[in-house]
Structure 1
Amino acid sequence: MQTTLTSFSVLSHPSLDQSGGRGAAPIDSRPAPLVESATLLQGNKTVGILHNGSLYRLQATKLGKLILTK
């Protein structure tokens, strides 16, 4: 199976502001990598993701939505 990675632009949203409310943070104009959810899940309904020493769970619902929990 061949996977093609593409890129997309991240939208500007207050939740993405890492300036701590000290004004507008510079926006990174580089496109973010795009990964298909099927690539992450590899045929499973749930996959564990280790991030900064914490374990997260990415789960696909019956309706095709994704849920990320810690």
Structure 2
Amino acid sequence: MPARTHTRPRPVLRGGADSRLPWWALALPTLAFVTLLALLLNPADAHAAAAEPGITHLLERAQRFMTR
């Protein structure tokens, strides 16, 4: 005859201060998304991309490799 195992009940999580996110946990990813979206919409403002021709060349080669 199998022996019964006793399991402990899980504690109920209530909406306390421990379960809430700080304000920056949503604000920082949103800010990063909006910044990258703005650079995509107006690439003329992305001055750092033209400063390193070696990085640009490497990225173009990687893009060509991925599209094959």
What TM-score comes out, normalization by structure 2 length? 0.20
Larger RCO, structures 1/2 (Cα 8 Å, 6+ apart): 1
Question: Whose strand fraction is larger, Structure 1's or Structure 2's?
Answer: 1
Q: Return the index of the structure with the highest Cα Rg.
A: 2
Question: Whose helix fraction is larger, Structure 1's or Structure 2's?
Answer: 2
